[in-house]
Amino acid sequence: MNIYVGNLPYSATQEDLTTLFSEFGNVERATVVMDRETNRSKGFGFVEMADNAAATQAIEALNNTELNGRALRINEARPREERPRTPRAPR
């Protein structure tokens, strides 16, 4: 199951997500989404767990818990919607 983790502190790392979710089962991958231009966290990430029951348990247990003073928003990730690309303005 792919899990969305929102409202992450900007200081959160992939290791933080792995540690947080590994309490509930095997974490296959944890990713903090980074801004391409600033290389700073965008404040959300994703965690992949193979065991759906463990993933569901993690979502229920961790949603609205605090990490470094921020209440996490955790739910099952929805498939990414295709959006039309808009050309970027030249710099």
Residue 16 has pLDDT above 70, yes or no: yes
Domain for residue 60, yes or no?
yes
Task: Give me the helices (H) in 1-91, please.
Answer: 14-22, 52-62
Work out how many domains the chain is built from and give that number. Answer: 1
Domain for residue 26, yes or no?
yes
Domain for residue 63, yes or no?
yes
- pLDDT digit string (tens) for 29-80? 999 999 999 999 999 999 999 999 999 999 999 999 999 999 999 999 988 7
Task: State both tokens at 75.
Answer: 């739910």
Residue 85 has pLDDT above 90, yes or no: no
| 56 close to 1: Cβ distance less than 8 angstroms | yes
Q: What is the pTM of this model?
A: 0.85
Nearest to 3 by CA among 24, 86, 11, 42: 24
CB neighbour class for 65 (10 Å; exposed up to 12, middle 13-18, buried from 19): exposed
- Domain extent, residue 69, equals 2-76
Q: Write out 60-81 in H/E/C secondary structure.
A: HHHCCCEECCEECEEEECCCCC
Q: What is the mean pLDDT of residues 8-31?
A: 96
